[in-house]
Amino acid sequence: MASSSSNGVLFALFLFAVNLAAPHLAATIGSSSPAFLSGACNTVAGDSGGVITAAFCTNSLSSDGRSLNASSYSDLTIVAIDLLTSNATSTKSKIDTLLQNATTATKQCLQSCQAAYAGVLQAQTGVFYNVQAGRFPEAMSALEKSAGSVEKCEDGFGKSNVKPLLTAEDDDAFRLAKLAALLLHQEH
């Protein structure tokens, strides 16, 4: 056990040293560094009109190690797309479970959300390929549509006077779709 805690301390010290050296390394190795991620998130947050914070961007994207090696906004977009896909997949599964014991009004809201998340998942493959092919306007349009679908899902609970059951998931999906679109906007 002592070995693993000393390894953890060594790793923390290594990360601290890397963070201190990051600005200097970025200048010498190009834009592929944690500093690129931080700068990209600050730019996107500034352009988002308050929808995306730099903290949300950084925390979300840095949860996937690929973001630390990103050298372009489209690299970060791929990470955001994968995070959105993961969110939509787990939310759709949660909806399937919630539907089993739902009242009629709640069931209608959940079925609407189920369709919204199915649409998000269906669009993801096309979004990914459009990003890979450099067709950023098409990808941005699909991401904005996904964000709108998820927003309608959440709004449906309020309009039906039903307790919202997916607020956290809807918020994350909405912001991840917006984040991906904003990252592509920077690339475009």
Which spans in 30-166 are helix H?
Answer: 34-47, 54-62, 73-99, 104-132, 136-159
Burial of 40 (C-beta count, 10 Å sphere; 0-12/13-18/19+): buried
Domain for residue 44, yes or no?
no
pTM: 0.81
Domain for residue 63, yes or no?
no
Domain for residue 69, yes or no?
no
DSSP 8-state secondary structure symbol assigned to residue 48: T
Domain for residue 175, yes or no?
yes
**Domain that residue 180 falls in:** 77-186
CATH number at residue 149: 1.20.140.40
Domains: count for the chain: 1
Residue 108 has pLDDT above 60, yes or no: yes
Residue 187 near residue 77, CB atoms below 8 Å: yes
Phi first, then psi: what are they for 132, rounded to 5°?
A: -60, -35
Domain for residue 68, yes or no?
no
Domain for residue 28, yes or no?
no
pLDDT digits (tens, 9 = 90+) for 26-71: 333 334 458 899 999 999 999 999 999 999 999 999 999 999 889 9
